[in-house]
Structure 1
Amino acid sequence: MKFPTSLPSTHQALLEKIIAMVSSDERFVGLSAAGSYASNTMDDYSDLDLVVAVDPAAFDDVMASRSTIVNQIDGLVAHFTGEHVGEPRLVIALYEGAVIVHVDFKFVSLPDAAQRVDDPVVLWQRGSCLSDVLAQSESQYPQPNPQWIEDRFWVWVHYAATKIARGEYFETLEFISFLRQNALSPLALAQAGETPEGVRKIEHLIPDFAQKLEATIATNNAESLGEAVYRCVDIYRELRANIEGVECNHTAEKLSLAYLKQILS
């Protein structure tokens, strides 16, 4: 098959082994690659994001033998399943070669391959079964819900203030990161017409906004943390002003900010 021009040679060598293994196992009916492979934007640091389509009758057997399956490919040095991200069908693995390559294997029953966040490239299939399933629906990346964020944002600000008050500074640092990842950056990326993948690649996709986020990076003391929370509020208000139809909770906004001010004074 023809590989994308950006595919590094080490990744290609490993991918050829994976295709050979999958195509030789009757339980599998298709293999596709998503992410930077599909967009032809890979580099030496890229993962291989693979979706392995399974014959529905064999799915339970495959799920029970995932570790054995990924270990059939030469070079495996570590692997674990994806329960920590709510995806038990996922196996995350490292393979050694000229460089170490990270591979995500997502094992899905063939009909479930239609549910996807982007459009993968089919690497191998039995007949046209995987292509046929993918043609049944369009990919859809989850978009941020501005009202969902507004309903929570001022509770989040109050929470951050209580952590500063208690002197739980590392907890506050983590929570500010949560705000960047789950509220500020997804809204900004969506407004820019980009995929709202948290803060991933935000420096390259919307560099002006990424520069604003620098003001939300705090050090481990109350003054710095408080200033970072205020900057999160400023950025959120700017983003919210660009969205129509959000029912703002001005009472919660006023009270949470007054509480933050009180804590910092």
Structure 2
Amino acid sequence: MQKEFAKNVIHILKNDPTIVGLAGAGSWVTNEIDQWSDLDLVIVTKDNLNADKSLMVEYASRFGNLLSAFTGEHVGEKRLLICLYDEPLLHVDIKFVTLDEFCDRIEDPVILLDNDEALQKIISTTKAEFPTPDYQWIEDRFWTWLHYGLTKIGRGEYFEALDFMAYLRMVIFGPLLHIKNKNLPRGVRRVETTLAHDDFKSLESTLSFNNKESLLNALSNAVQLYKTLRQDLFNDKISYNKAEDSVLRYMKDLRKC
């Protein structure tokens, strides 16, 4: 379904003088497209279209029965147009970039259309760089974040504490576990199938129910998981945060309340 949609996009764009090329990204690159997958497309244009949402929508509307389209500021990417098409019902993310912008990428996409071989030349002469976690950045924040989560539990704001735990999994545990398992650090994407069994169980132990005891147990497991990952991944250049001992005492005292 996704590749058939992309074939139609190629047909529509191949004679458009504004278009430099088209590429498939995301699951297409890793050959993991299945019936549940979104389609990630990168449209490279001579002129900058991403400054005008109406121009992006105008292009997107040519590709199929467009039900909805909005830009991706919520994920920090205003060049992205998030689309939902019908017949078939399909989520398609379309990023509009210029040739210069195509140089700055997190992966090498699959080239679907390449006028004058401009995209291939860039891929051959520049390097894709996927953003990796900064271990010192994490250590500088982890214990203060943990204290924040504990205060929410202490006040009885359990839903906020649940959201906090999800944030830790997305920003810290998922990426670090992926690195340990030699995967790209894509949050918690596909952790069910790409992590070693014991690593997945450690991550699963940070889930909780909506009550104090369960949340505190999950946070305690999160601390143990973080310490294990810190030992496995961090080098001796990482300076440990002196807040650690005080926050752990606070957590111990909270259990008594």
Partner Cα distance (1:173, 1:92) in 2: 28
Q: 1:17 aligns with which of 2, 5, 8?
A: 8
Could you tell me how far 1:72 is from its partner in structure 2? 1.5
What is the aligned partner in structure 2 of residue 69 from structure 1? Answer: 59
Residues 1:32 and 2:20 aligned together: no
Q: 2:192 aligns with which of 185, 188, 203?
A: 203
Figure out how many residues of one structure are paired with residues of the other and give that number: 253
What is the aligned partner in structure 2 of residue 215 from structure 1? Answer: 205
Partner Cα distance (1:139, 1:114) in 2: 8
Partner Cα distance (2:228, 2:48) in 1: 51
State the secondary structure of the residue aligned to 1:30.
strand
Q: Is the 8 A contact 1:144 1:190 kept in 2?
A: no
- Using structure 2 for the length normalisation, give the TM-score: 0.93
State the secondary structure of the residue aligned to 1:37.
helix
What is the aligned partner in structure 2 of residue 42 from structure 1? Answer: 33
1:93-124 deviation digits (Å, cap 9, x = unpaired): 11223x42211100001111111111111100
Q: Is the 8 A contact 1:94 1:101 kept in 2?
A: yes
Deviates more, 1:134-143 or 1:150-159: 134-143
Matches within 5 A, 1:143-154: 143-154=132-143
Runs of 4+ in 1 over 3 A off after TM superposition: 57-64
Partner Cα distance (1:105, 1:172) in 2: 34
Percent identity for Structure 1 against Structure 2: 38
Partner Cα distance (2:131, 2:31) in 1: 22
Partner Cα distance (1:236, 1:12) in 2: 40
Partner Cα distance (1:21, 1:96) in 2: 18
Deviates more, 1:148-157 or 1:188-197: 188-197
Matches within 5 A, 1:1-265: 10-55=1-46, 57-59=47-49, 63-97=53-87, 99-208=88-197, 209-242=199-232, 243-245=234-236, 246-249=238-241, 251-265=242-256
Could you tell me how far 1:59 is from its partner in structure 2? 3.5
State the secondary structure of the residue aligned to 1:220.
coil
Structure 1: gaps (5+ residues): 1-9
Partner Cα distance (1:248, 1:34) in 2: 37
Structure 2: gaps (5+ residues): none
Partner Cα distance (1:181, 1:113) in 2: 27
Could you tell me how far 1:66 is from its partner in structure 2? 1.0
Q: Is the 8 A contact 1:114 1:136 kept in 2?
A: no
State the secondary structure of the residue aligned to 2:44.
strand
Q: Is the 8 A contact 1:92 1:104 kept in 2?
A: yes
